[in-house]
Amino acid sequence: MHPSPTSIAFGQRRPGGTVRRGGAALWWGVLLTVAVAGGALFALAQTGPLARMMAGHILLMNVVAPLLAVLLRGRRPAGGRTLLAASLLQLALLWATHLPALTALLHGPMMLVPAALLFASALWFWRAVLGQQGARRWRGLLALLLTGKFYCLLGVLLVFAPRPLYPGQAPAPLLLADQQQAGLLMTVACPLSYVLAAVIIAAGWVAALETGSSDRRPGPASAAGQAAI
C-alpha cells in the first residue's frame, strides 16, 4: 500500500516501523520563511520607535518562540489547562505591555522587560500548542485561531485610532503614522503566522488519521486467512 501524500509530508510511521522525516523539514522550511518575512518587516519598520518595538515583539513571539518550541518539543503531551493558562497569560501580557500609560514609563533598558515577558509567555504558549497530541490537537487549533483574533483586534485599534495613543516628542502626524504602521505590522504578521501554524497542525492531524486508518486495514495475508476460515 502506497503512503498518502500527507503521510509523506508530515512524517508518519510506515507499516515496517520506519518514520519519514518530512514533517521536521516542513517545519524548518516554514519557520525559515517566517524568519525572513519577520526580518523584512523589521527592516521596513523605521518610521518611529513604536513600529520598531512592535516589529521586535513580532520577531520574538512569532519567529523565535515557535522555533525554540519546535526544538524543545518533547513526547510528553500538554494538558488542556496548561494550554488555556498559557493562552490567557500571553493575551493578558500582550495587551498590558502595549498600554499607552505603561509604554510611556519605559525607557532605555526598561524596554527589555516587556519584551522578555512577551517572549517567555509566547514560548510557553507555543510549547503548549505543540504539546496537544492525538485527538486533542483541535485544542491547539482553537487556541491559535482565537489568539490570532485578539492580536488582530489590537492591531486594528492602532491602525484606525483617530489620534496618537502613545506620547512622543514628534509632531502628531508623525506619531499617528508610526502608530498606524505598528498596528499594520501586527494585523498582518501575527494572525498570518498563527493561521499558518494552524494549517500545518491540521494537515499533520489529517495525515495521522490517514495513517491510523490504513494501519487498521487488514493486509492481503490476513484477508486470505479470514476468507479461508
pLDDT at position 10: 44
How would you class 117 by CB atoms within 10 Å of its CB: exposed for 0-12, middle for 13-18, buried for 19 or more? middle
Count the Cβ atoms, other than its own, within 10 Å of residue 99.
12
pLDDT at position 6: 42
Distance in angstroms (rounded) separating the CA atoms of residues 151 and 128: 18
pLDDT at position 80: 85
- Alpha carbon distances (Å) from 174 to 47, 166, 177, 186, 205: 8, 11, 5, 19, 46
What is the DSSP secondary structure assignment for residue 12, as one 8-state letter? Answer: P
pLDDT at position 88: 95
Which of 229, 203, 207 has its CA nearest to residue 218? 229
Distance in angstroms (rounded) separating the CA atoms of residues 156 and 151: 9
Maximum Cα–Cα distance for the chain, whole Å? 87
pLDDT, tens digit only, all 229 positions of the chain: 444 444 434 444 444 444 444 455 555 655 665 665 655 555 555 568 888 888 888 888 988 898 888 888 777 778 889 999 999 999 999 999 888 887 777 676 777 888 999 999 999 999 999 888 877 888 888 999 888 888 889 999 999 999 998 887 788 888 999 999 889 888 888 777 888 888 888 887 787 777 655 555 555 544 444 444 4
pLDDT at position 40: 56
